Chains A and B, each alone.
Chain A
Amino acid sequence: MKEQLQKDFDNSIKNLNLSQKDIEIKKFCLDSFIEKGFPNRKEEDWKFSDLNQIIRNNIGELSFYNDHTSTNKVDTSVFVNGLEHNKIVFINGRIEKIDFAYEKKDQIEIIDQSETINEFKNSNSLSDLNNAFTYKCFKILVKKGYQLVKPLIIYHTSNSKIWSKNINLRLNFELDRDSSLRLIDLFKDTSEKNFLNIFYNFELKENAVLKNYKLDKFENKNIKYSFNNIDQDKNSISETFILSNGSNFLKNEINCNLKGIYSSAFINGIISLNNDKHHEIRTTINHLTENTKSYQLIKSVLEESSKAAYQGKIFVNSDAQKTDGYQLSKAILLNKESEFNAKPELEIYADDVKCSHGSASGSLNDDSIFYLMSRGLSYQQSRELLINGFLLDVVEKITDSEIKNLIKNMIGIKE
């Protein structure tokens, strides 16, 4: 893999106009990645999902060079109907379109930050890989007091032109004081056997509100890793919703730093899997100052020989008195081959806190099935009804009604 990395790196660098210093930084990241390699189960954070092995078994040899010189045609059929929205379109990792048609032009700034340095406090090797190979990086700045009228949908699409490729993406967002943004990440792939490595960084200033919906709904054979870092100032709110369903492998990682008082973070997730899919959600909430709040709810439904893992950590600093942290994960295993692993973790250094977590996994409740069947439903109907209700609970947590309906339609949940 080492020679491939070196070769592809040299090719990528050639196409970019970078200063000597930036090349040095990228080189440094590459060397660091070469040294560490893909994360494996020996690393605590990857205990339940050995990415190195998953890539080896599903893809084999990866190549890292992507030709971004030619444009791809944007296929408008992927766009979401019935919801007016702003768009950013990625095709095979290349930004093809940025369109904020519904917004005031002077309130949103798009800054090219292609020469970024490693600012992620994520120690895993994938951030190094991302730094070494991202070709363009934009920062989207929402100015003071501006609230986007329509949601922004980022389309992550790929087509059959790519195969056994590694694609690295990077986006930064800054929400200035009193601003708000609704952001939907929609994954739609027709490609197979690629590894997507996505890094987002969010900076929320005072009173800012971020709602991020990550929707991985459509069947595909790709392997994905997505990392969100969210820094929150006073009074800010972040809401993250994860639908983890379509990809062969997907690990969503949310790292949230509650730095300002009265800031709060909400994470809700659904993992719904079939076949031999393997998904994981890992969250870290750092309560760094007093009077902060976090709430997490993750529900999983596992069929066939699928596997899911949830690792959630609530960290409470010694200054973070009056913290309120809550975390709940529930899983239904529908097949004897399916597997659910959880590691809900609390690390607390302050005494005046209210923190709790719960985790439960098991089969569908026989009594409930019996109850429904005795009222005339078939076994299949009862099962669906119960699962429906189980997942509806999470969807109902979505605070934006427009997007809630979109998601309900998408997963076919009935009320």
Chain B
Amino acid sequence: MDNRQKEIDNLKDYKYGFSTDIENIQAPKGLNEDVIKFISNIKKEPKWMLEFRLKAFERFKVLKEPDWQKPKYPKIDYQDLYYYSAPKSMKDKPKSLEDLDPKLLETYKKLGIPLQEQARLNGIAVDAVFDSVSVATTFKDELTKQGIIFCPISEAIQNQPELVKKYLGSVIPTSDHFFATLNSAVFTDGSFVYIPEGVRCPMELSTYFRINASNTGQFERTLIIADKGSYVSYLEGCTAPMRDENQLHAANVELIALDDAEIKYSTVQNWYPGDSDGKGGIYNFVTKRGLCKGKNSKISWTQVETGSAITWKYPSCILKGDNSVGEFYSIAITNNHQKADTGTKMIHLGKNTKSKIISKGISAGSSDMTYRGLVDITSKAKNSTNYTQCDSLLMGNKCGAHTVPYIKNKNSESNIAHEATTSKISEEQLYYCQQRGLNPEEAVSLIVNGFCKEVLQQLPMEFAVEAQKLVGISLEGSVG
């Protein structure tokens, strides 16, 4: 009997076991301590890192999945997911641009993405002249000269254990909410940035320049530390449509700004939103949080959210240092059956702290958009101010736009102002544009771009141009 049992176990191992094929290493399905140990092991992580993960997992076991959000989704079976899977081999990838979906190519064309870039996005090998690796290495040299560390977080865990140990989980603790805790337990990779004291990062840092940046998987972890008096601008994502076989994306992003430091974090997200009937599409459940730890520090979030079936995220600022500043600029566009529940949290703890929230939501088709935000001025945050403006634009009577701000003021020396409006594109504006020769779609795109201008201005130059086009493309088919 025992022998028989062993045999069955062996068979099981074979079927679900750890495959050592270099091109396709995969953890078994499901979530348990073994899987976490497997991930930690394959990344050759030190013991403290494994403990960090296991602690998070312990906590995860008792947490309940939140259900207060507006967009509802079918229940996710967390035991039915793969938590580690190495990048796909070259064999599975398309050989040339001709193999790609013509619709996708059309979108690239509209966005004005160069051919080489299109190829890179789809994992097609590019010719030597345009090898992005060589471009990246030149940048890397310059960064190293300044003492800036910019590498995958798995590398940082090996090479910069002190920094990682000190800051990882200091803004999003392992005991945080459901998805953040899940990420802490099973995150696979992501970026690590450290800007030394007094250094102004000479270029916009982007995952684009980081080798091995693609396929970091569904549980990404980013940690950015700006030491005293430093400055960094970080770009995440790109305007080109991204497809991914993983449906659930639960990334964690932690920012830490010390005295006089400034971090600018820009996101353009255009993941697969599902087809026009709302089937498929990515769930984007990301936890982003910044801590203004030092005096006079500043964190600024800018986001352009056009993709994903469900976007559910609240990039937040904890304004702990005196005179610190938090900013949040957001454009969220939903079309067809997309749903978004996004906004920010500004938590004022230090004196003379300031925050500003500009949120622009546009919903079209049968989509649903919610701005949900919190402004909390605590009793110690003397002389603090907040200004919030959330505007929504509706196109068609099948979509919805909602605003749910929470405003808490516990300090008589602080001021909060909040404004919100909801309206539609006026007939006069459309008529005026069309009279001057624009077709209805171009007219809408122009008007919407004007509506979003305040936020688009905050994006770095190279992003802004593409983002502007993206805004127009995202709304295609919503008029008429």
Contacts and interface: CB of A to CB of B under 8 A. Distances in A.
B412 A333 contact: yes
B420 A336 contact: no
Given A356-B421, A360-B417, A362-B415, A348 B394 contact: yes
A363 B421 contact: no
Interface string A327-368: 000010111111111111111111111111111111100000
Contacts of A357: 403, 418-420
A357 B397 CA distance: 21
| Chain B binding surface, main DSSP class | strand
Nearest to A319: B397
B409 interface: yes
Nearest to A302: B412
B414 A362 contact: yes
B397 A339 contact: no
Contacts of A338: 412
A286 interface: no
Nearest to B396: A351
A343 B407 contact: yes
B358 to A, nearest CB: 15
Contacts of B8: none
B395 A359 contact: no
A100 to B, nearest CB: 44
A49 to B, nearest CB: 13
| Chain A binding surface, main DSSP class | strand
A318 interface: yes
A351 B407 contact: no
A127 interface: no
A44 to B, nearest CB: 8
A131 to B, nearest CB: 28
A331 B409 contact: yes
A219 to B, nearest CB: 23
Nearest to B408: A341
Given A353-B424, A357-B420, A361-B409, A346 B414 contact: no
A356 B421 CA distance: 4
B400 A334 contact: no
Contacts of A363: 412-415
A360 B416 contact: yes
Interface string A23-54: 00000000000000000000010000000000
B402 interface: yes
Nearest to A350: B397
B395 A360 contact: no
Nearest to B379: A336
A252 interface: no
Nearest to A347: B402
A350 B394 contact: yes
Contact of A359 (B392, B410, B418): B418
Contacts of A345: 402-405
Interface of A: 44, 318, 321, 331, 333-363
16 contacts: A333-B411, A336-B411, A337-B379, A340-B408, A342-B405, A342-B406, A344-B418, A345-B405, A351-B424, A355-B423, A358-B419, A361-B407, A361-B409, A361-B415, A362-B412, A363-B413
Nearest 9 Cβ contacts at the A-B interface: A362-B415, A333-B412, A351-B394, A346-B403, A356-B421, A342-B407, A359-B418, A355-B422, A361-B409
